[in-house]
Amino acid sequence: MKALNAIRMGGVDVLPIVEGGKGVAVSDGLTCGHWAAGGGVGTFSAVNADSYDALGQRIPQIYHGRTRRDRHEELVDYAIRGGIAQAQQAHDINGGAGRIHANILWEMGGAERVITGVLEGAKGLINGLTCGAGMPYRLSDIAMKFGVHYYPIVSSARAFSALWKRAYHKASNLLGGVVYEDPWLAGGHNGLSNSEDPARPEDPFPRVLALRKQMRDFGLGDTPIIMAGGVWWLEEWEDWIDNPELGPIAFQFGTRPLLTHESPIGDSWKQKLLTLKKGDVFLNRFSPTGFYSSAVNNGFIQELRGRSDRQVAYTTEVVGDHTAEFGVGPRKRIVYLTKPDLVRVRQWLVQGFTEALRTPDTTLIFVTPESAAQIYQDQVDCMGCLSQCRFSNWSQEAPDYSNGKKADPRSFCIQKTLQTIGHETAGEKSPEDNLMFSGHNGFRFALDPFYSNGFIPTVRQLFERITTGR
């Protein structure tokens, strides 16, 4: 493996090894602090992070508000206190080496309020802000207010160009780096555009080279690009290291830090990672954000796939081939299906999928009574964890606090499932029954000799193995 040299990032020299920030309660101050202590860039998630009481016990995020707006305010308060707690923990462990970054999702509920509150309460503890899931134009303004570096996450040169021209050129001195997240290989939410085919992955090299050329046009030739998604062993990327065409490059590891002793995820999730096979990670569009996302194709995802598969279009009056009557809901209000679709529906009813739920696309999906009851309850319990949500029709914008659309039962409550899997206890089936994000290289845990006989490294052991090669 080529010698790995430090690069200039955020005003200091660091090893070009970055921990990827991962959603609710998964990338915490413990893993972040140990990663930074190795001389790299540690990242904790500031997305509804955990906070602790005076005895160091995690405070469960339980909501008491009667309205979604009330619960949203509770969520913002939890998120601010949690972000501060994780920043403090990372700082205490780090000991002054490396850098500590906070990761936020621009489409999370109250994103600007949350990160502003975290930075105010954790002054001097956070060196950088990483942000994706949307177009975070205001990220540079927040960075300037608090004097921290910022690291937008993009999946194309075009996206970065839009951000730069609209906002980032005003804070070029604080742009610490640009994260290129491969939309076909990265875990979690992915930045696939409407012009890109989810079934046709593209080589990242020309895409990153295009990003570098765009950055050079803006005078950013020395600003690092952080390659995220699909990175496993650095020797597989040797043609990227010290490549004058690409300029300074760092590498982000999101999936691999899941399988460490310090990782807060439960043991059953860690054991599941060791058994994944190629193709087990599924690129889907079930997320209530509307983005594509990459997750393990477990029972949770299969249930969502089943909802969409058991789907037929309907009309409220006879139109064309839609002539077959069907009664929906307790009052059996008549809608019209095609005759072939009515045959399919009758088969689903016999199988126990007796509840027909309307979608915003003038279709019906068919689920069991138990599933329907859970969908309705989860929609009622919404706490506004996203800026706007397909599943519950929440929007954080006044005066209506609604996105103006019908709630979509083909989606799910993302806050509920991520909180559940992130805080699983012994004996639970959380990895099968909840959303389990993973990068598409997750199958390599089972093939990599480093993890032979179920070996789970510490963060330090993983970091050293990455920097020294196989």
User: How do residues 202-221 score in pLDDT, each as one tens digit?
Assistant: 999 999 999 999 999 999 99
Task: Provide φ and ψ at 255, rounded to 5°.
Answer: -75, -40
Q: What angle, 0 to 180 degrees and rounded to 10, lies between the N-to-C axes of helices 459-468 and 29-37?
A: 40
CB of 22 closer than 8 Å to CB of 45? yes
pLDDT above 90 for 278: yes
Closest CA relative to residue 139, chosen from 302, 148, 297: 148
User: What's the whole-number average pLDDT of the chain?
Assistant: 93
Are the CB atoms for 189 and 293 separated by under 8 Å?
A: yes
pTM attached to this predicted model:
0.92
Mean pLDDT for the stretch of residues 109-125? 94
Superfamily of domain 7-275+444-468: Aldolase class I (3.20.20.70)
> Which neighbouring-strand residues pair with 190?
292
CA distance 378 to 420: 13
Residue 298 pLDDT level (bands cut at 50, 70, 90)? very high
Per-residue pLDDT at 428: 63
45: pLDDT strictly greater than 90: yes
Give me the residue spans of the domains in the chain.
7-275+444-468, 299-433
pLDDT of residue 387: 94
Say whether pLDDT at 2 is over 80: no
Residue among 364, 351, 355 at smallest CA distance from 312: 364
Average pLDDT over residues 364-369: 97
Q: What is the DSSP string of 97-164?
A: -SEEEEEEETTBTTHHHHHHHHHHHTTTT--EEEEESS--TTHHHHHHHHT-EEEEEESSHHHHHHHH
Confidence of residue 50 (pLDDT cuts 50, 70, 90): very high
Q: Give the confidence band of 427 by pLDDT, cuts at 50, 70, 90.
A: low
Rg (C-alpha) for the chain, rounded Å, is: 23
Q: Quick check: 406 pLDDT over 90?
A: yes
Residues 6+ apart with CB under 8 A from 457: 259, 260, 261, 450, 465
Q: Which residues contact 62 (CB under 8 A, 6 or more apart)?
A: none
8 Å CB contact between 101 and 148: no
Find out whether the peptide bond into 399 is cis, omega within 30 degrees of 0. Answer: yes
pLDDT tens digit string along 5-23?
899 999 899 999 999 988 7
Angle (CA) 460 14 238, round 5° = 80
Q: Cβ distance 338 to 364 under 8 Å?
A: no
